[in-house]
A and B are shown apart, each in its own frame.
Chain A
Amino acid sequence: MVTLQKKICMIGDFAVGKTSLVGRFVRQSFSEKYLTTVGVKIDTKLIKLSEEQEVKLILWDIAGNDALTTTTTSYLRGAAGYILVVDGTRKPTWQSAIQLQAAVTAQTGDKPFACLLNKADLREQWEVTPNLVAPQVEQGWKLIESSAQTGMGVEEAFTWLAWQLL
Chain B
Amino acid sequence: MILIPISIAKYVRSLWMAEMVLTYLHVDRNGILVSWGGYPKHYGLGSLATGKSASEQVSFLEGLLPIDHTEVLEFVSTSAGRSAHVHLLPFRGGTWVLFFDASTEHDRQQKIQQQANELSLLTYRQSQLIQELEHARQMLIAEKQQLEDSSQLKTRFIADLSHELRTPLASIAGYTRLLDDAERKNDEHTSDYLNTIQTSTQHLLSLIDNILEQSKIEMGQVVLAPRACDLKKLLKDLKALFLPHANEKGLTLEVKAENLPVQVMIDELRLRQILINLVTNALKFTEKGTVTLTLRWQADQLNLSVTDTGLGISEEGQQKIFQAFHRETKTQGTPGAGLGLAISYHLIKMMGGTLRVLSKLGKGSQFFTTIQAPSIYATRSEVIPTERHHEPASSSIDNIKGSKVLLVEDALFLHKLFEICLSESGYEVISAYNGEEALLLIDERQPDIVITDMLMPVLNGYDFVKQLRAKNYTQPIIALSASNLEEDKQFARQIGCNAYLSKPVEPRLLLQTIHKLLKETMA
Contact = CB atoms under 8 A, between A and B. Distances in A.
A78 B113 CA distance: 27
Interface string A47-65: 0000000001010100110
Contacts of A60: 60
B75 A74 contact: no
B63 A78 contact: yes
Contacts of A71: 74
B15 interface: no
Given A36-B114, A39-B76, A6 B62 contact: yes
Interface stretch (B117-125, B354-362, B494-502): B117-125
A92 B79 CA distance: 30
A160 interface: no
Contact of B72 (A7, A34, A74, A80): A74
Residue of A6, A35, A75, A79 with most chain B CB atoms under a 10 A cut-off = A75
A15 B119 CA distance: 12
B463 interface: no
Interface string A1-18: 000011100000011000
Given A14-B120, A77-B71, A40 B62 contact: no
A42 B63 contact: no
Given A15-B117, A74-B71, A75-B73, A41 B79 contact: yes
Contacts of A56: 59
A54 B469 CA distance: 87
Given A5-B56, A41-B79, A77-B71, A36 B62 contact: no
B75 A5 contact: no
B73 A40 contact: yes
B63 A7 contact: yes
A25 B367 CA distance: 70
Contacts of B72: 74
A36 B113 contact: yes
Nearest to B102: A39
B73 to A, nearest CB: 6
A156 interface: no
A39 B74 contact: yes
Contacts of A7: 62-63
Interface in B76-135: 76-79, 83, 102, 106, 109-110, 113-114, 117-118, 120-121, 124
Contacts of B303: none
Contact of A36 (B71, B79, B110, B124): B110
B64 interface: yes
Contacts of B23: none
A63 B76 CA distance: 11
Given A5-B55, A74-B72, A90-B124, A39 B77 contact: yes
Contacts of A159: none
Contact of B76 (A14, A36, A42, A77): A42
Interface residues of A, number: 29
Contact of B106 (A34, A39, A80): A39
A40 B117 contact: no
A34 B120 CA distance: 13
A148 B215 CA distance: 55
Contacts of B78: 41-43
Contacts of A39: 73-77, 83, 102, 106
Contacts of B109: 38
A95 interface: no
Nearest to A56: B59
A38 B107 CA distance: 9
Contacts of B63: 7, 58, 77-80
Nearest to A79: B63
A36 B117 contact: yes
Contact of B60 (A15, A35, A42, A63): A42
B60 A38 contact: no
A78 B64 contact: yes
A15 B76 CA distance: 19
A40 B56 contact: no
A71 B76 CA distance: 11
Contact of A78 (B62, B79, B102): B62
Interface in A61-89: 63-64, 71, 74-75, 77-80
Contacts of A41: 77-79
Contacts of B56: 5
B59 A40 contact: no
Contact of B77 (A34, A40, A64): A40
A42 B59 contact: yes
B167 to A, nearest CB: 57
A79 B63 CA distance: 7
A47 to B, nearest CB: 14
Contact of A14 (B62, B73, B117): B117
A43 B71 CA distance: 21
Interface in B39-57: 55-56
A58 B62 contact: yes
Contacts of B120: 14
Contact of B121 (A15, A63, A79): A15
Contacts of B76: 39-40, 42
A38 B75 contact: yes
A91 B151 CA distance: 40
Contacts of A15: 117, 121
A79 B102 CA distance: 24
A166 to B, nearest CB: 16
Residue of B59, B62, B124 with most chain A CB atoms under a 10 A cut-off = B62
12 contacts: A5-B56, A5-B62, A15-B117, A34-B121, A38-B110, A39-B74, A39-B83, A39-B102, A39-B106, A42-B76, A77-B71, A79-B63
Interface of B: 55-56, 59-60, 62-64, 71-79, 83, 102, 106, 109-110, 113-114, 117-118, 120-121, 124
Given A35-B110, A39-B106, 16 more contacts: A5-B56, A38-B75, A39-B76, A40-B76, A42-B60, A42-B78, A43-B78, A43-B79, A58-B60, A58-B63, A60-B60, A64-B117, A74-B71, A78-B62, A80-B63, A90-B124
Which 10 pairs between the two chains have the least Cβ-Cβ distance? Answer: A78-B63, A39-B75, A7-B63, A42-B60, A36-B114, A38-B110, A38-B109, A36-B113, A58-B59, A58-B62
